[in-house]
Structure 1
Amino acid sequence: MNQSRTGEFYGQTNKTINLEGITLTDTVYTHDRVDWHYHENAYFTFILQGNVIEGNKKEIYSCSAGDLLFHNWQEPHYNIKPEGFTRGFHIEIEKNWFDELDFSTSNLQGSMKIVNLDLKFLLHQIFRETKADDLTSQLSIQSLLLEILSEMLQEDKTQSHKNPVWVSEINQILNDQFSDHLTLNYLAKIIDIHPVHLSRDFSKYFNSGLGEYIRKLKVQKSLQLISQKKQDLTTIAFDCGFSDQSHFTRCFKEINGITPSQYRKILFG
Structure 2
Amino acid sequence: MKTAMIARMTWEAFRDAIDAETVAVIPIGSVELEGPHLPLGVDTITAEAVARGLNGAPGVLVGPTLPIGYSKWFMPFAGTISLEMETLIRVLDEYARSLIAHGVKRLLFFNAHRGNNAAIEAVARTLIAEKKAQVAMINVWKLVNDLAAAPENQIDEGRFSHAGEAMTSVIMALAPETVVTEKITVDKPKSPGGSAFKVKNSLGDTEFQGSIQTIFQDLRQITETGTMGDPSGASPEKGRHLTEQIADYTRAFIREFQKLPLD
TM bracket, shorter-chain basis: under 0.3
Q: Normalising by structure 2, what TM-score?
A: 0.26
Structure scoring higher RCO (CA < 8 A, sep ≥ 6) equals: 2
Q: Normalising by structure 1, what TM-score?
A: 0.25
